[in-house]
Structure 1
Amino acid sequence: MRFPLALPLLLLATACVPLGTPITDPNGTASAPGQKAPEYYADKTIRYQDYVYDPSVKSVQCYVATGVNTEVFQPPVVPLGQSQAITLEFDVLGGQSQRLLAKLVHCDVDWQPSVLTDMQFLSEINEFLITDYRTGVGGKTPYFHYRMRAPGVKLSGNYLLVVQTSAGVPLVSRRLLVYENRVQVSLKPGIVVGGQERYTMQQLDFAVGYGGVQLVNPAAEVKVVLRQNFRWDNAKYNLRPTFVRDADRRLEYQYFNFENAFPGLSEYRFFDTRSIQAAGLSVQSINTRTAPTAVTLVPETPRGTLAYNQYQDANGQRVFESREFGDGRTNADYANVTFQLRTPQPAPGPVYVLGALSDWQLKDEFKLAYDEAQGLYTGTALLKQGYYNYSFAVGQGAGKAPNEVYFEGSHQQTENQYDLLVYYRPPGTRADLLIGYQAVTMNNRQ
């Protein structure tokens, strides 16, 4: 469920600059096979994914500005004609502001740059100066807060918004989705076919009706992507229709081997640092004598064997707010937050804190170290004041989704959000269009 917090409506401007060399793996690194992957921030090559290229960039949020107090939880997905509602904001640590530019990159269905020219998807010069920025005040950590709105586009599809310095050094990139309702998308919770899996997995059945549009060879040319909680790291790709009903002009996707099923997991863990004068939820102690302030969270324990526990969460997201001073965007301070996880034995792989706070990636700054004598994993990360959701995940190697089930367990009853993306490239064109989109909530509490 979404966490009801009041945040002011954000207003924005736009900006960008020439890009680096693309990589072939949209979710990987630029290292060659057999070579050790570069340190996370060392390689400045543009990645066509949600990515932070500089350790001074913190607290990135990309969402649809709706004017309601939960707008920061809206993923950057909008219908064609409303792309300017997508808002990007982030902090850059330090006492000196920078001249930052932004650029929009049109991508194909596989998140590689398309061959379209800028003027084929934009009506303006593809370089936008970010003019909306303010200094953080009242805290121990100096920073500047930047925000902008995405430019309007002419085509549906995948876009990458890249922010760079005036010297062309990338700072942050975010994936944006612009869709059309040219087909009828039917996405609904399904029934998992299996034994024990019916208690741990969540299945989504879906269909695509194309009666109102002419599609050439839709069974092969229509491509779909299924996501859980708007994540890309564990999304389902290359799903082919199980039934093609030509007479009804309808593609149906109903599987029996969990191709369209996700572990339900558990409701996300959480902590509240909106106040650093008094301990909030899941906070064990606060030391305001240090700079930055040191926050230690209550030690957590594995939930893999526990029964399902229902409570409201934010599906892995977070929101920034200060209860000591006014606007959380510029008045919230940073703190060194220490995570703790008690377990009698180490996991079968490296353990990380995972969530929107880590861009759903296994970052070194969120990696936990194990103390065998204490039976305790610990790790510290610099985080802005706010309310956070997260989980503990075990790394399973390059190219594999992190294992959250090991520490978090999995339950069919968990509330999660799912969305379906439907792509199609018309014959003779050079762009993958996003011709259908639908989102649905599993086990909705409202």
Structure 2
Amino acid sequence: MLRYSLPALLLLATACVPLGTPITDPNAPRGSQPRPAEYYADKTLRYEDYTYSPDVRSVQCYVATGQNTEIFQPPVVPISQQQPIVLEFDLLGNGSQRLTAKLVHCDVDWKPSVLTDLQFLSEINEFLITDYRTGVNVKVPYYHYRMQVPRVKLSGNYLLVVSSGGGVPVLTRRLLVYENGVEVGIRQGIPVAGQERYTMQQVDFSISYNGLNLVNPSQEVKVMLRQNFRWDNAKTNLRPTFVRDAERRLDYQYFNFENAFPASSEFRYFDMRSVRTMGAGIAQLDPTTSPRTVVLSPEATRNGQSYTQFDDINGQRLFESREYGDGDTNGDYANVTFQLRAAQPAPGPVYVFGALTDWKLQDEFKLTYNTEQQQYTGTALLKQGYYNYYYVVGKSTGAPDDVYFEGSHQETENQYDLLVYYRPRAPAPTCLSATRASPSTAAGRR
């Protein structure tokens, strides 16, 4: 059924951080702005995971646990930061560039706070990225950059900004640092409805705050519920349905799908870890072109079909070269063509979607419909590796529709994490704690 994963239960102190002013439009629909045709045109700093240059590729931001699965760990660490956050990315071209990074402390709504750099850092807030290597035995030249994020002194939300000469941003990533301050229980709920119980997944949870002196817990505690570590469809502004003062516990159990997500289906995948032999999901491979050319097998809608069980990596991707082993500098890039059969156009633009697109609607991953062939096609430049993805339909507001082509089944395996923030209403500049917990429910497939 569901697998609950809580790599980051946070109670982040923002008492001393007043609300800031957003640089971008706060009313812009998440995952859909700016419009794809202008994706790289606007260099205005955004307080979200974003790529500002088409030359920046294959961005990874994760916790360095020393395990093979570390790249799947979201950038969320305890205040001890014994296992650091690492950022890696490629910069296309024949020459390296001088790139610098800085941290921006943000409040719970990802708006810049009023804290000075010295309040959350012990060093100058400008870090030159000196760890970079050139791609080897590749047709598409690039440099691979890597940096370890410096330690911070306060828990909270941070935006990592990487800039080129002149301070122009090239990429941004959200990071979270937490302290243990509450205990969280999380479990699978059942949507109170008819057909929805077969297509949606509900997550009920409770927060025990024995270690905190909360005056008005329903107002001072803010939570955010994420599916597969995505920000674009996260559930925010969830208020407790029951405040149990005697037990010092907040219960969150809803009846109108406030804490329910479309379960969708297991992610589609293709294996491009080799550029000499065709892996799973690949119909054609031409290693003689520059860049190499890869055509994926034609696919069809899965909406209306029965649930199919197979292992996926929840929309993530893994960079690897089967020829040389080191995906960082030996992985080459290829033009990958996606093919999706459709008897008629969808009620909106269609995109490839997942971690390979930063969970955003990017122009490069927009598909074009051919009426005669009754098929969507599109080509994107991707690095050697193993990929998960969906086909989604863009909407004018909210997260894109991944049910139109993928369907939705309650049996789908997804990961959920809960972010818990604390902000007392007293004006005293008190920065409090955060928590990390193990899941109270870990139900696997049956």
SS in structure 1 of the partner of residue 415 of structure 2: strand
- In structure 2, the residue matched to 1:418 is 416
SS in structure 1 of the partner of residue 224 of structure 2: strand
Change (3 A) 1:37 1:180: same
Q: How does 1:80-229 map to 2 (within 5 A)?
A: 80-82=79-81, 85-229=84-228
Residue 22, structure 1, aligned to residue 23, structure 2: yes
Q: Deviations over 1:52-107 (max 9, x none)?
A: 00000000000111111111111111111117611100000000101110000110
Could you tell me which of 405, 408, 411 is aligned with 2:406? 408
SS in structure 1 of the partner of residue 329 of structure 2: helix
Q: Which amino acid aligns with 1:195?
A: G
- In structure 1, the residue matched to 2:371 is 372
SS in structure 1 of the partner of residue 398 of structure 2: coil
**CA drift at 1:215:** 2.0
SS in structure 2 of the partner of residue 239 of structure 1: coil
**CA drift at 1:192:** 1.6
**CA drift at 1:433:** 5.8
Q: Deviations over 1:201-259 (max 9, x none)?
A: 10000111111111231111110000000000000001001001111111110000110
Are the counterparts in 2 of residues 180 and 435 from structure 1 also a CA contact under 8 Å? yes
**CA drift at 1:326:** 3.1
Q: How does 1:421-432 map to 2 (within 5 A)?
A: 421-426=419-424, 427-429=426-428
Q: Which amino acid aligns with 1:309?
A: T
Q: Which amino acid aligns with 2:435?
A: G
Change (3 A) 1:433 1:258: farther
CA distance in 1, matches of 2:219, 2:22: 31
Q: Which amino acid aligns with 1:156?
A: S
CA distance in 2, matches of 1:408, 1:56: 30
**CA drift at 1:164:** 0.4
**CA drift at 1:445:** 4.6
Q: Deviations over 1:27-71 (max 9, x none)?
A: 669x99xx9887111111110000000000000000111111111
CA distance in 2, matches of 1:438, 1:109: 20
SS in structure 1 of the partner of residue 171 of structure 2: strand
Are the counterparts in 2 of residues 183 and 208 from structure 1 also a CA contact under 8 Å? yes
Residue 444, structure 1, aligned to residue 438, structure 2: no
Are the counterparts in 2 of residues 343 and 376 from structure 1 also a CA contact under 8 Å? yes
Q: Which amino acid aligns with 1:359?
A: D
CA distance in 1, matches of 2:211, 2:96: 51
- In structure 1, the residue matched to 2:241 is 242
Q: Which amino acid aligns with 1:444?
A: G
SS in structure 2 of the partner of residue 315 of structure 1: coil
- In structure 2, the residue matched to 1:290 is 289
CA distance in 2, matches of 1:181, 1:148: 27
Are the counterparts in 2 of residues 116 and 431 from structure 1 also a CA contact under 8 Å? no
Q: Deviations over 1:119-157 (max 9, x none)?
A: 111111111111110000101000000011111111111
Pick which of 133-142 and 212-221 moved more: 212-221
Are the counterparts in 1 of residues 62 and 72 from structure 2 also a CA contact under 8 Å? yes
Q: Which amino acid aligns with 1:414?
A: T
CA distance in 2, matches of 1:293, 1:425: 52
Q: Deviations over 1:6-38 (max 9, x none)?
A: xxxxxxxxxxxxxx9822429669x99xx9887
Q: Using CA pairs below 8 Å that are at least 6 residues apart, which structure has the higher relative contact order? A: 2
**CA drift at 1:193:** 1.2
Residue 310, structure 1, aligned to residue 309, structure 2: yes
**CA drift at 1:439:** 6.9
Q: Which amino acid aligns with 2:162?
A: V
- Name the TM-score, length of structure 1 as normaliser: 0.91
Q: Which amino acid aligns with 2:407?
A: G
Residue 325, structure 1, aligned to residue 318, structure 2: no
Change (3 A) 1:115 1:87: same
Q: How does 1:40-51 map to 2 (within 5 A)?
A: 40-51=39-50
CA distance in 2, matches of 1:96, 1:291: 19
**CA drift at 1:444:** 2.7
CA distance in 2, matches of 1:336, 1:37: 19
Are the counterparts in 2 of residues 64 and 76 from structure 1 also a CA contact under 8 Å? yes
Q: How does 1:339-354 map to 2 (within 5 A)?
A: 339-354=338-353
- In structure 1, the residue matched to 2:230 is 231
Q: Cα RMSD between the aligned structures?
A: 2.3
Between the two proteins, what is the percent identity of the paired residues?
66
**CA drift at 1:380:** 0.3
Q: How does 1:52-63 map to 2 (within 5 A)?
A: 52-63=51-62
Change (3 A) 1:321 1:103: same
Change (3 A) 1:27 1:58: farther
SS in structure 2 of the partner of residue 413 of structure 1: coil
**CA drift at 1:443:** 4.9
Q: Deviations over 1:287-337 (max 9, x none)?
A: 122110010000111001000000000000001000112311000000000
Q: Deviations over 1:361-397 (max 9, x none)?
A: 0111100000011010000000000000000000011
SS in structure 2 of the partner of residue 198 of structure 1: helix
CA distance in 2, matches of 1:26, 1:435: 29
Are the counterparts in 2 of residues 415 and 442 from structure 1 also a CA contact under 8 Å? no
CA distance in 1, matches of 2:82, 2:105: 13
SS in structure 2 of the partner of residue 316 of structure 1: coil
Are the counterparts in 1 of residues 162 and 172 from structure 2 also a CA contact under 8 Å? yes
Q: Deviations over 1:169-218 (max 9, x none)?
A: 10110001111110111111112211011111100001111111112311
Q: Which amino acid aligns with 1:40?
A: Y
Are the counterparts in 2 of residues 64 and 87 from structure 1 also a CA contact under 8 Å? yes
- In structure 2, the residue matched to 1:6 is none
Are the counterparts in 1 of residues 183 and 437 from structure 2 also a CA contact under 8 Å? no
CA distance in 2, matches of 1:28, 1:38: 16
CA distance in 2, matches of 1:358, 1:167: 26
Change (3 A) 1:438 1:390: farther
Change (3 A) 1:285 1:161: same
